[in-house]
Amino acid sequence: MAPNIAIIGAGPTGLTAAIELKRRGIIPTIFEARNCLGGQWAYEVLTDEPVDVRDPQSQSVYSAMYPKLWANLPKRAMQISDYKLPEDLQLFPGRVDVLDYIDATAREAGIQPLIEFNTPVKHIAKAGDGWRVSTEGTEKIFTHVIVATGKDSYPNIPEIDGLDRFEGPVTHSQSYRLPNLYDGKRVVLIGACVSSEDISLDLSPHAEQVYICGTFPPNGHKCYVRDGLYGQGLNISQHARPERIEGRKVYLQNGEVLHDVDDIILCTGYIYNFPFLKGSLDDIELSGCSMGPLYLNIFYPADPTLIFLGLPRFTVHFANIHLQSIYCAKILNGELDLPSSDEIKQEVANGGCVLQKNPANLEEYHNSVFESFTRLSDMTGEPDLDWRTFLNTLNDHKRQYQQYYRLHPFTYDLKE
C-alpha cells in the first residue's frame, strides 16, 4: 500500500519535501497554520507596540522578517531542489524576491493544491500503525508524518539576572520590524550573531546609541569584531555579555555599565519546540537548545515513520533540506531501505546526532553537519558539493567587506 503522508509546514522545507515526494508518485497533504506559504520568508505585519517577551499574553509570531532584510547567503545557496532563482536577481536577494521565488516554485511544481491553509496542527499521536494528526475539529490518520515547521519559531530567552525587571520593553529579534520605533533611543542588542549585526545597522540611522553585547569570536560566523563606533549614525559599539540588569542599567561581565537604556532586543536565537507532539514522545528531547537524538538528524529512532526535516543549525539550509528530502522520498517510495531498528538505535546511542551537539563549538558542529551532507550524498547518489569551503570563503568575504559584503561581487565555483 502506498504511504499516506502528512507534511506539517509549507515553508521551504515542507515545499522541498513535497516536491521530491511528488516526483516519485507520492502525493502528500500539507498542513499550514497561516493563510500563505513561505514560512519565515512570508512577512508578518505586527502592531507598532513591541512584542514584550515577558508578557505571557503576548502574541505568537510566525515570521522574523523585517522590511529591509536581505539574505545573508548568496542566491546559489537559496535554491529549492533544482528550481533555480531568476538570473536577474541580485547576488544576495531581498526577502520579497525570495518569497516570490518560493511562491513561483510551488506553482510550477504543482504543490499549492496540496496545501491546507489556515490549518494549524494541534496534536500528533501514534494511532495503531500510523499517526493521528489533529487540527481544529478534524482528525486524520497518516502512515507517515514529516515535521517541517523549522528550527526558528520559538525564541531563546536567556537567563540574565534582572531581565524580568528591566524598566523598558524587552523584545526578541523575531518581532523586530521598523527602526523608526527606536528614534532617539539607547538600545541594547543582546547576542553577537547575524541578527544583531543586521538589526544594529538597520537601527543606526534612527537610534541615539546601539550597543551589541555578546561574545565576538573572530571566525567570521558571528558579528565582525570592531573597535570604536560604526554604522551610518556612527553610534554602534560592541561590548561584553550582560551579567545583570538593574532598572535601566545593564552591567556587563567586564565591569562596564551601560546607563539609561531604553530598549533591549534579544538577538539570542531560537530553541527547538514541537508543542503538537507534547505527550506523544517520551524518549527523545523535543524542547530546548538541543534536540533528539534522531537517526541521521531526521528519523525518530523508535518509529522512523515520524520524520523531522531542516533542523541542523549553522549550515546551508536549502542544500541540507534538499538532500534530506531526496533521501526520505527514496525511503518512502521503496527505492532505499532504512537500517534495522537495532542498527538505528545503536547509531543514535553513539552520539552521532548533530542536534545534540553544542553549536557554540562551531568547528565540531560544522564537522558533524558536513559529514552528514557527505553521507546523504553517498546514500542518494546526489553530488557531494563542497558547501563547507563555500561557507569558509563566504566568511572571508564578509570579514573583508563587513557591513558592505552584500554589495561586493562574490564568486565561488562549487565542486564535488
CA separation (Å) from 284 to 112, 278, 299, 306?
33, 11, 11, 12
Strands 236-239 and 209-213: parallel
> Are 259 and 283 part of one and the same domain?
no
Based on the fold, state whether residues 139 and 30 are members of the same structural domain.
yes
| Same domain, residue pair 307 and 234 | no
Q: What is the pTM of this model?
A: 0.95
The DSSP secondary structure of 134-176, one letter per residue, reads EETTEEEEESEEEE---S-SEE-----BTGGG-SS-EEEGGG-
Residues 148 and 161 occupy one common structural domain:
no
In a domain, 360, yes or no: yes
Query: For position 130, which CATH number holds?
Result: 3.50.50.60
Look at residue 311 and tell me if it is in a domain. yes
| Final residue belonging to a domain, choices 266, 290, 305 | 266
The torsion of the CA quartet 394, 396, 397, 403, rounded to 10 degrees, works out to 110
Q: Within a domain: residue 163? A: yes
Number of domains comprising the chain: 2
Q: What's the start-to-end Cα distance of the chain, in Å?
A: 37
How would DSSP label each residue in 319-349? HHHHHHHHHHHHHHTTSS-PPPHHHHHHHHH
Q: Which domain holds residue 177?
A: 157-266
* Burial bucket for residue 37 (CB in 10 Å: 0-12, 13-18, 19+): buried
Residues 135 and 118 in one domain: yes
For the stretch 301-308, contacts whose Cβ atoms lie closer than 8 Å and that sit 24 or more positions apart, written own/partner, are 301/344, 301/345, 301/348, 302/345, 303/126, 304/338, 304/344, 305/130, 305/131, 305/143, 305/144, 305/145, 306/124, 306/131, 306/144, 306/145, 306/147, 306/281, 307/144, 307/145, 307/146, 307/147, 308/146, 308/147
Quick check: is 88 in a domain? yes
Query: Domain check: are 146 and 287 in the same one?
Result: yes
**Which grid coordinates are listed for 266?**
534579544
Question: What is the separation of C-alpha 86 from the centre of its chain, rounded to a whole number of angstroms?
Answer: 23
pLDDT, one tens digit for every residue, the chain (416 residues): 678 999 999 999 999 999 999 999 999 999 999 999 999 999 999 877 778 999 876 778 999 999 999 999 999 999 999 999 999 999 999 999 999 999 999 999 999 999 999 999 999 999 999 999 999 989 999 999 999 998 999 999 999 999 999 999 999 999 999 999 999 999 999 999 899 999 999 999 999 999 999 988 766 567 788 889 999 999 999 999 999 999 999 999 999 999 999 999 999 999 999 999 999 998 999 999 999 999 999 999 999 999 999 999 989 999 999 999 999 999 999 999 999 999 999 999 988 899 998 887 888 888 899 999 999 999 999 999 999 999 989 989 998 999 999 999 998 888 88
* Residue at a domain's end among 232, 266, 300: 266
Residues 229 and 303 in one domain: no
**Does residue 12 sit in the same domain as residue 113?**
yes
Q: Cα 250–254–260 angle (5° rounding)?
A: 20
Residues 275 and 380 in one domain: yes
Domain membership of residue 411 (yes or no) is no
Give the per-residue pLDDT at 351. 86
Same domain, 290 and 145: yes
**Domain stop point among 236, 266, 296:** 266
DSSP-based three-state secondary structure for 243: strand
Q: Write the DSSP symbol of residue 299.
A: B
Residue 379 to residue 397: CA distance in whole angstroms: 33
DSSP 86: P
Specify if 410 maps to a domain. Answer: no
Q: Quick one: 162 and 75 in the same domain? A: no
Biggest CA pair distance of the chain = 66
- pLDDT of amino acid 219: 65
